[in-house]
């Protein structure tokens, strides 16, 4: 009988779980973000367990043979172990592994091979695995210290552009009407109040609006995307020295913000490939695939 596997991709904005028998998808479920934060791991565990349980139910199962969870914010062993212990109580699987969203993305993109994964969602980070298997990272310091080119950065830049346009310090932009509609703020005063209360995930949720406005040709929105692409490309360039012997290094994109087909991807591709040793992969990365492959390895 085929083992029942589950893979979870846990981010700041959303959580996705897929259940598989190793050859086909049996069920899936989506839920809110549950990235690990110090002193809030138990809340994350409750959200993750709920999404896993719903995915298993959609597959007609109560438990899995193996589950791999890749969680944003899971860089410290203390948080990963706390999450493991909390989820073991839920009795969701015989075997359970908690790792980082970085590791499952690398697995999905390159298996055990070398390459670079650039992630841009609520936050941003560049991660590389070199030819010896060592992991290196660039950025990923959170919305206060980094996350250049991220959804939060794009949303924050758009809010700033609207404020400057309202004063006449920069040109009028279609972003004003689009973001007033997206936030249901009504007028500028309402948007000021909204922005004062909004957290990083809410600001990051404005990024798709900016992408859509940029696609109409709005110069301000296009400028924001150009700046974001430049910042993201710098994360990649910083990782290239870890590949001294490779003639060509592949860069895979993770996250809907920079997926192929989205307005930011071609801008980013041009900037990244200004470095002739870098090549952008045209296929998107699905981190859950990496989690499922790791779960398969756990059961042999």
Q: Which tokens belong to 39?
A: 């002193």
- 254 or 228: which carries more pLDDT confidence? 228
Region 206-217: what's the mean pLDDT?
Answer: 93
pTM: 0.83
- Which residues have a Cβ under 8 Å from the Cβ of 65 and sit 6 or more positions away? 3, 4, 5, 93, 94, 95, 299
Q: Say yes or no to pLDDT of 15 above 80.
A: yes
User: Can you say how many angstroms the Cα of residue 77 is from the centroid of all Cα atoms in its chain?
Assistant: 20
Q: Summarize pLDDT for 90-148 with one digit per residue, the tens.
A: 889 999 999 988 889 999 999 989 999 998 888 888 999 999 999 998 887 777 787 88
Average pLDDT, the chain: 91
How confident is residue 19, by pLDDT bands cut at 50, 70 and 90?
very high
Walk me through the domains of the chain, giving residue ranges and CATH numbers: 5-106+287-299 (3.30.420.40)
How confident is residue 13, by pLDDT bands cut at 50, 70 and 90?
confident
The predicted pLDDT at position 246 comes to 86
Percent of the chain with pLDDT over 70: 100
Least confident of 25-34, 146-155, 189-198, 236-245: 146-155
Q: Summarize pLDDT for 245-292 with one digit per residue, the tens.
A: 888 999 999 887 888 878 889 999 999 999 999 999 988 889 999 999
Sheet harboring 64-71: ordered strands across? 25-32, 14-20, 5-10, 64-71, 93-100
The predicted pLDDT at position 159 comes to 96
User: What is the number of other CB atoms lying within 10 angstroms of the CB of residue 167?
Assistant: 7
Q: Are 179 and 167 in contact (CB under 8 A)?
A: no
- Give dist(CA 289, CA 109) in Å, integer: 9
Region 51-59: what's the mean pLDDT?
Answer: 96
| H or E element in which residue 263 lies | none
């Amino acid at each position: 009988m085929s083992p029942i596997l589950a893979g979870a991709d846990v981010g700041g904005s959303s959580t996705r779980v897929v259940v598989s028998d190793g050859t086909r998808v049996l069920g899936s479920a989506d839920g809110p973000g549950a990235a690990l934060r110090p002193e809030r791991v138990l809340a994350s565990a409750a959200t993750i367990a709920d999404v896993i349980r719903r995915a298993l139910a959609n597959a007609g199962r109560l438990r899995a043979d193996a589950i791999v969870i890749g969680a944003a914010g899971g860089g410290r062993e203390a948080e990963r172990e706390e999450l493991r212990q909390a989820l073991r109580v839920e009795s969701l699987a015989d075997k359970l592994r908690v790792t980082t969203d970085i590791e499952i993305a690398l697995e999905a993109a390159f298996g055990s091979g070398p390459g670079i994964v650039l992630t841009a969602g609520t936050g941003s980070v560049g991660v590389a695995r070199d030819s010896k298997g060592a992991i290196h990272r660039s950025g990923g310091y959170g919305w206060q210290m980094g996350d250049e080119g991220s959804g939060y950065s794009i949303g924050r830049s758009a809010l700033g552009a609207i404020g400057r346009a309202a004063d006449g310090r920069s040109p009028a932009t279609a972003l004003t009407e689009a973001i007033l509609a997206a936030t249901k703020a009504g007028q500028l005063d309402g948007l000021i109040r909204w922005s004062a209360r909004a957290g990083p995930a809410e600001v990051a949720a404005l990024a798709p609006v900016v992408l859509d406005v940029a696609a109409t040709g709005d110069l301000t929105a296009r400028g924001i995307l150009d700046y974001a692409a430049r910042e993201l490309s710098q994360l990649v360039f910083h990782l290239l020295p870890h590949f001294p012997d490779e003639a060509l290094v592949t860069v895979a994109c993770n996250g809907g913000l920079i997926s192929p087909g989205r307005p930011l991807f071609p801008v980013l591709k041009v900037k990244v490939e200004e470095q002739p040793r870098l090549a952008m992969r045209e296929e998107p990365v699905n981190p859950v695939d990496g989690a499922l492959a790791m779960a398969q390895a756990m059961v042999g």
